[in-house]
Chain A
């Protein structure tokens, strides 16, 4: 997500006389965006979620080791894409409401509840927010679940979900390589390969691949450093 039209005009040349300087330093004026490639998938024992680690302000990489996988409850994580500030604020609200809810019910929160809270906030404030969120987790009622909440604030439950600017490049890969009932290793392999492909094609995604495996026994964080990210066709 970068400043659009202005830079295109200066790139292709324009007949108009622009009153603005042609090199508008967008990194001085743009807000932090998680350009992003994020995804989450259900597997046999739970869910695996993954993300790249690039945060941009315009074309400057403000943070190349970002953690876009945010915990909102012991058993529920969310993947954040869009405005870093917006998604952090929303996740903080959801964490607060989920905590209060757990105290009242005296139980671990269901993933569905977390997803609904994200959805309510994103929809009610749709005109002010730029947030594409994937909610994933494990609970005793429904097992592993993945919910996608794209820009308008709609809520959809899916076996796997991809998001962020980098996701456009991996729809084909994901549709063809997703399998129901994967093992943990298969699921991690699927997520890492898909994100590697997205990161290699999308300028707003890159850095390291972060993953979290969530099962009923807990969560397991992992990272693939930049030099170990899987490489595919990169030209002859």
Chain B
């Protein structure tokens, strides 16, 4: 690790001489060492894909989920410390249901993402708590159409067409930039997302992984759901085939 704080990194309440808060930067490291999560905002919806690295063959594949439904039309994918991420999902659920009760309309993606980012930011202010060690991708379809936001451990919130977090971020972002997301359908995006996860997965460093795929789009009537089995199986098959071609082509 190139950047070491040496005295300025012991607490979130200390700035370094060059204006950095090292504890928050270390929190980013927790995200960088975790399985990749990507999301694509396309013409008719948003697709999430997560590389869930499994440490044991005894693990039940659908347990320890990394993608959650926050409100009927909003999904959230976590990268980093999953337990921290789950707190954020709970907070997001609270915010969404309370908003719906208070205002009588479903919360929009932008407002929810900003509420979560404000919540995360608070934990970077005090020495008595630690910053959240996770980043989240928030995607939804609301009255303004499909939207995607990423919130990182510092509490910064940005809107994206395509975004990746976790260990394969660099490679995944390169792949995402090649795609024409604005004109893609959600069905096609599911295949692309699966392909990208398979291609950035490092077989050497990590043993096996389970792919989690979810979407919220016209086809699901704007409800956030896990991708149906047949579509998922087809996407995974194509992704494996693409990876094999890539590997054999390189020889």
Contacts from A to B (Cβ < 8 Å): 101, 104-106, 110, 112-113, 115-117, 119-120, 141
Contact = CB atoms under 8 A, between A and B. Distances in A.
A139 to B, nearest CB: 11
Q: Classify the secondary structure of A's interface with B.
A: helix
Contact of A120 (B102, B105, B108): B102
Contact of B105 (A104, A106, A113, A119): A113
A104 B115 CA distance: 10
Given A105-B108, A105-B111, A113 B143 contact: no
B249 interface: no
A116 B102 CA distance: 7
A113 B114 CA distance: 20
Given A104-B111, A105-B108, A105-B111, A141 B143 contact: yes
A104 B105 CA distance: 14
B98 to A, nearest CB: 12
Contacts of A115: 104
B103 A113 contact: yes
B111 A117 contact: no
A113 B111 contact: no
Nearest to B100: A116
B108 A113 contact: no
Interface string B86-114: 00000000000000001111001011001
Contact of A116 (B104, B110, B114): B104
Interface residues of B, number: 9
B166 to A, nearest CB: 30
B74 to A, nearest CB: 15
A113 B99 CA distance: 10
Contacts of A110: 105
Contacts of B104: 112-113, 115-117, 119
B103 A101 contact: yes
Nearest to A105: B111
A104 B110 CA distance: 9
B143 A117 contact: no
A105 B99 CA distance: 12
Nearest to B115: A104
A117 B102 CA distance: 7
Contacts of B105: 110, 112-113, 116
A106 B102 CA distance: 18
Contacts of A117: 102-104
Contacts of A104: 111, 114
Residue among B105, B110, B114 facing the most chain A CB atoms (10 A cut-off): B105
Contacts of A105: 108, 110-111
Nearest to A147: B104
A116 B103 contact: yes
B208 to A, nearest CB: 44
Nearest to A141: B143
A141 B105 CA distance: 11
A116 B98 CA distance: 13
A75 to B, nearest CB: 15
A105 B104 CA distance: 14
Contacts of B114: 104
Centre residue among B102, B104, B114 by max chain A CB count within 10 A: B104
16 contacts: A101-B103, A104-B114, A105-B108, A105-B110, A105-B111, A106-B110, A112-B104, A112-B105, A113-B103, A113-B104, A113-B105, A116-B102, A116-B103, A116-B104, A116-B105, A117-B104
Contacts of B102: 116-117, 120
Contacts of B143: 141
A110 B104 CA distance: 10
Nearest to A109: B103
A121 to B, nearest CB: 11
B245 to A, nearest CB: 46
Contacts of B108: 105
A141 B103 CA distance: 15
A90 to B, nearest CB: 15
Interface string B135-174: 0000000010000000000000000000000000000000
A117 B105 CA distance: 11
Contacts of A112: 104-105
Nearest to A113: B103
A105 B114 CA distance: 10
Nearest to A155: B104
A1 to B, nearest CB: 29
Contacts of B111: 104-105
